[in-house]
Chain A
Amino acid sequence: MIWLTWRQMRAQTLWTAGLVVAAAVYLLFLAGDIREAYRINITDCTSACEDAAHTLAEQFGSGLLLIGLLLLAAPALIGAFWAAPLITRELETGTHRLVWNQSVTRARWLAVKLALVGGVSVLFTGALSLLLTWAAGPFDKVVDSRFEPLTFAARDLAPFGYALLAFTLGVVIGVLTRKTLVAMAVTLVVFVMFQLVMANVLRPQFAEPVTETIAWDDANTVGQIDSFGIGPQGAGVQGYTIPGAWVVSEYIVVHKADGTDVTAEDIEACDTVGGTPDDCMVDLGATFDVTYQPADRYWDFQWIEFGIAAVLSALLAGVAFWRIPRGLN
């Protein structure tokens, strides 16, 4: 059975392995470039060192984002091009009637196919993930936004889970639809939808976020205020970031010491007194409540995300094991 599975998947596996090797070589060179840039801009920095992070982000940000996107797409492609046809192609050409009548039970036939082809899918995706995580290491350290949705799903463990899920999803959709092209399309759509739901609906709920009251004086030491102004909701902070953490708050209303919101009049009063806006806010005793997932939850979240995908994969595999030995008519 191992021989047959290998014989059937040989061509696809070899050219995919070729692509993986090409990507790996590229990542190796990229890792060198990133480390070189890190050494010049940060380790050996002599002047304008505060800008180093910015420089690095500018230089490698979009490239790494693109590779991250490819890594997000890899499981979807595996699901559509490897998993969906894995059994459907046999059903369409009728060869299941040949192979199911050799002295190998259907459960074993399915188990070997799932273990080998699924294993290789996870291995390829996982290897790229670990390589990318390593290559982007210095960059991620400087930028320190590992919870960024496109970064989070393309580093460490998450891609392993996605590969496993996309593979089992493709197999089961193939078994249920019994039409290769339909199964490929449905697998792509369902998997991409799952990725969106995971990032936007599930991931924020892995743990109850922490809410912390930050005094204006500490605002730029705890994190970084991107912009501050008067909006329709009153005076507020926008785009507040905390290194390594995942800030959930979007528009944060700022309060005075007595607990009331900072108003436009307060700001105008400041302007007449003079001094920097920051001094003025400190004088007002301004504070704001920021809600966020702390940085040290990163690995918990990675494991949870992997766990969800793994459990779903197990359920899907269960469906296949329930369905196939019963015959498909």
Chain B
Amino acid sequence: MSTPVLSTTALTKRYGKHTALAEATLDIPAGRIVGLVGPNGAGKSTLLALASGLIRPTSGRIEVLGRTPAADSAQLADVGFVAQDTPVYAGLSVADHLSLGEHLNPTWDDAFARDRIARLGLDPAKKAGRLSGGQKAQLALTIAAAKRPRLLIFDEPVAALDPLARRAFLQNLMEFVAELEVSVILSSHLIGDVERVCDHLIVLAESRVQVAGDIEDLLAAHHRLVGPRGTLDALPDGVKVIAADHTDRQTTLIVHDTTGDHLELPGADSVGLEDMVLTYLHRAEGLTAPTLQETRA
């Protein structure tokens, strides 16, 4: 488990003049459930398509489980990918999709696949084109999982689902992550979902990685500092100001303690995950974060 599931250096993808992903450097250890969050168009799908090998980088380096994505069938077998909108063959039945998985994957776990389809209550004879959005997502998830990969990648798996189906899907995901011992990377623009299932976070905005790390560590390293104006000007080395708001009398800062030493900062208060993420997203867009003030009790 020493090989990082995803390791990139200055990973960049450009489409003509448009830069979809710029200089992303990441190192994600194995065994995590990684949440990739950011607004639409931030580059989440680009990063995941690069990780699955669907597209190739313009520059920079990417390795998934220590190998170039989609390098050969062994590498492909190690990574399960469920694309956005969970594409399935509309003309093929659910059973056909399981046969597809069985024929195309030497590591296919047929018992697992059939068991899941039965538990989900999907009719094997039904054409995939006639399934609901939630059922299609479940079918795609089953195909990706039954090949028994070491890494599962989901691009916005729940975006098209209604709240009930979303909850069921995430519930299911959690169940078999525990069952299969896989690492997971999933993208979402719903921070609540990420908070519920993930233990590692990548914040992506404006094509750049804003911050990445284990959620626990990130929360422990981000603080809200409130003090009379002028008292917070000098911060220890390694403490970065993510956002600052000044009123006549006082200053509010969101800071990231990058020293790893858990510095004791005067007047430090904890920051919630959602506030932290939003602060980064607003910073990326060059806006003042409205989240500087305590929004939640």
Contacts and interface: CB of A to CB of B under 8 A. Distances in A.
Contact of A105 (B76, B83, B87, B100): B76
Contact of A329 (B15, B87, B91, B101): B15
A260 interface: no
A54 B209 CA distance: 82
A1 B103 contact: yes
Contact of B79 (A3, A93, A101): A101
B105 A103 contact: yes
Contact of B104 (A4, A94, A327): A4
Interface in B41-78: 49, 52-56, 70, 72-74, 76-77
Contact of A98 (B70, B83, B99, B107): B83
A327 B55 CA distance: 5
A105 B104 contact: no
Contacts of B83: 94, 97-98, 101
B147 interface: yes
Interface in B1-47: 15
7 contacts: A1-B103, A3-B100, A4-B103, A101-B81, A103-B77, A103-B147, A104-B76
Contacts of B77: 103
Contacts of B110: none
A9 to B, nearest CB: 11
A3 B73 contact: no
A100 interface: yes
Contacts of A1: 103-104
Top 8 closest A-B pairs, CB basis? A102-B104, A97-B83, A94-B87, A103-B77, A327-B55, A101-B81, A3-B103, A103-B105
Contacts of B104: 1, 4, 99, 102-104
Contact of A103 (B55, B92, B99, B106): B106
Contacts of A98: 83, 87-89, 140, 143
Given A1-B103, A327-B54, A327-B55, A101 B144 contact: yes
A200 interface: no
B101 A102 contact: yes
Contacts, number: 84
A3 B104 CA distance: 9
B96 interface: yes
A95 to B, nearest CB: 5
A98 to B, nearest CB: 5
B90 interface: yes
A104 B76 CA distance: 7
Nearest to B90: A93
Nearest to B139: A98
Nearest to B99: A3
B191 to A, nearest CB: 25
Contacts of A105: 70, 72-73, 76
B134 interface: no
Given A101-B81, A103-B106, A7 B90 contact: no
Interface string A117-139: 00000000000000000000000
A94 B52 contact: no
A102 B72 contact: no
Max chain B Cβ within 10 angstroms of own Cβ: one of A8, A95, A103:
A103
Given A1-B103, A106-B70, A329-B54, 8 more contacts: A93-B89, A95-B88, A98-B83, A101-B76, A101-B81, A103-B77, A103-B104, A105-B73
